[in-house]
Structure 1
Amino acid sequence: MSHGDMSRAKLARICGADRSTIAQLLGEGDARLPNAHLAAECASALSVSVDWLLGLSERSETAADLLDSSFRVTEAERSFADVRIDEWHLEAAGYKIRHVPATLPDILKTDAVFEFEYAAFRERTPDQAISAMRSRADWLRRPGSDYEICCSRELVESLARGEGYWRGLPKAAREEQIIHMARCCRDLYPSLRLYLYDTKVVFSAPVTIFGPLLAVVYIGAHYMVFRESRQIRALTDHFDQLVRDSDTDARSVASVMEAMLAFS
């Protein structure tokens, strides 16, 4: 039961205190401070924090409730067609989205790349992933869209060469992916701005920042979801530093990626 629907008499009975003591505790003005035990008993009965009860905080939530609302670990589906991502995009409609992908940005992937990546998945089909990706890609063409992406330059270069993560993807599919990504960056600028950063200079885990509302760090089997403003600000500052450290700006990135075709 919360503090909004409990009488002082009932609170006094729960805490084993006199009604006059409770009245002094909850009254306006220079009320007498309770002892620590009574303060804790009252805060627990009212489901509020002791600090709020004593006028030391503007937030009434307990520490556990604050932690739960500001930070949460959420299980991630082992597929690119994760409905949580769509829900977060809907929640952040109208806000700038900042994104560091684990590989390439889903919204810029070709069908062939999705089919290549889905070879290891059994729960979902490539068609489901492609459908989800196209739905997200629609965000880029909506009025007022603002999508900023920082991508590893080394990963794009390895795509061009067919090395590492991309080993086994045919040359034609790799070239198609680079051409498609370059075309999107050129045609959708400035709504879409993509930067290439050097992982030898700066590192980033996969992260998406949905305006001022939430930030999501992908750690593999789970998402770490942050909703407290200082946490979101810290991750936003991290992303902005990636942009500053990038050796390729959003205006020239299409030409830079097209030049990588010579590596293939």
Structure 2
Amino acid sequence: MNTVISSTMADGFRARLHALIDRSDMNQASFARMAGVDRSTLSQLLSAEGPRMPRADTLVALATSCRVSIDWLLGLTPREEIGLEIIDSMLQIQSHTRSPIDERFVGWLREAEGYRVRTVPESFPDFLKTEDVLKFEYQGSSFNTVGSSVEAMAARLAVMRRPDSELEVCASIQAITTMAKAEGKWAGLSKTARCNQLAYLIELYRELYPSLRIYFYTLVETYSNPFTVFGPKRVALFLGTSYLVLNGVDHIRLFSKRFDDLIKLAVVQPHQIEETLKDILSEIE
């Protein structure tokens, strides 16, 4: 299943995909067979009804069959040429389990201990969420059947409490306000759960700052797909059902710069987060 994400990146991807099909002189059915992509998947990716991005395996199939770079397909570079070393040694595809317990992600965090980790989450980091909010968000997933989920979140918090830990989070302020107002995917989340979540987040941030630094940008001005830079080790780009993992130095620098650009656009700086969260909480109490 494809991931619904920002129209900016998805529109750019769709335009590039259209260009590849036009260049091939094939109809969509023939192009799908050539690329090894399901025809219905290709139709969904080409549709303008709702921004969609491909799964990581589809992305690699398109790049390999059309001899273009994944970076170009994603709009990360104007250079179209493929770099075989990216597919062979600098890029990996890792599946994502829809659960706050993701052993791969936790493993990458352990490998990056002592380095600065920078993340742009899909909403806000799971380890900052209360048990009630986690259960609501992951209802129907393995969270409800795995008893160690809360313990896993506690373990990640323990890592953050170490003196050498450093985590920067850049999230949209709408990720917090939609939860606070029970809008979008949070519709049906009780007022008590929302208030408790904000209070818990305020308390944790007060404890962990400045080892934990949060920035809020606004979707009115910019958008970013979820990704995490694990120090100098790797970048994991979240594509919904899988991670696109980039190990090359140039990619790590590229996404570090992207994070720096998001920080420059932030409307709430780390020292303002606690007061901002208090203001949001006061609006719903």
TM-score by length of 2: 0.67
2:93 is aligned with 1:73: yes
Q: Report the secondary structure of 2:158's partner residue.
A: helix
Share of identical aligned residues, percent?
34
Alignment of 1:6-155 (within 5 A): 64=84, 67-122=87-142, 125=145, 127-155=147-175
Pairing 1:232–2:255 present: no
RMSD of aligned residue pairs (Cα, Å): 1.6
* Structure 2: distance between partners of 1:216 and 1:96: 15
What SS does the corresponding residue of 2:276 show, helix, strand or coil? Answer: helix
**Hey, what's the Cα distance between the residues in 1 that align with 2:230 and 2:119?**
9
Residue type of the alignment partner of 1:111: E
**Does the Cα contact within 8 Å between 1:102 and 1:206 map onto a contact in 2?**
yes
1:194-234 deviation digits (Å, cap 9, x = unpaired) = 11110121111111110011010111111000100000100
1:191 CA drift (Å): 0.4
Q: Partner amino acid for 1:98?
A: R
Q: Which amino acid in the other structure matches residue 137 of structure 1?
A: L
Q: Deviations over 1:38-90 (max 9, x none)?
A: xxxxxxxxxxxxxxxxxxxxxxxxx7555322111211112221100111011
Say which of 215, 224, 231 aligns to 2:235. 215
Residues 91-138 of structure 1: per-residue CA shift (max 9 Å, x gap): 111100001111221110111111112212147536332222211111
- C-alpha contact (below 8 Å) 1:79/1:124 kept by paired residues: no
Choose 1 or 2 for highest CA Rg: 1
1:162 equivalent in alignment to 2:182: yes
CA distance in 1, matches of 2:150, 2:185: 20
Q: Do the aligned partners of 1:209 and 1:232 also contact (CA within 8 Å) in 2?
A: yes
- 1:150–1:194 Cα contact (<8 Å) kept: yes
Q: Is the 8 A contact 2:143 2:149 kept in 1?
A: no
How many aligned positions are there?
202
Query: What secondary structure sits across from 1:224 in the alignment?
Result: strand
Check conservation: 2:93, 2:242, Cα contact below 8 A: yes
Whether 1:245 aligns to 2:259 is no
Question: Secondary structure of the equivalent of 1:251?
Answer: helix
One-letter code aligned to 1:259: D
Q: What SS does the aligned partner of 1:131 have?
A: helix
Which 4+ runs in 1 deviate beyond 6 A? none
Conserved 8 A contact 1:118-1:125 = no
The alpha-carbon distance between structure 1 residues 139 and 122, as it changes in their structure 2 partners (threshold 3 A), is closer
Change (3 A) 1:86 1:122: closer
Q: Helix, strand or coil: the match of 1:252? A: helix
- CA–CA separation in structure 1 for the residues paired with 2:121 and 2:99: 14
Which amino acid in structure 1 is aligned with residue 165 of structure 2? S
Match of 2:280 in 1: 260
- Per the TM alignment, residue 192 of structure 1 is displaced from its structure 2 partner at its CA by 0.4
**Partner SS state of residue 240, structure 2:** coil
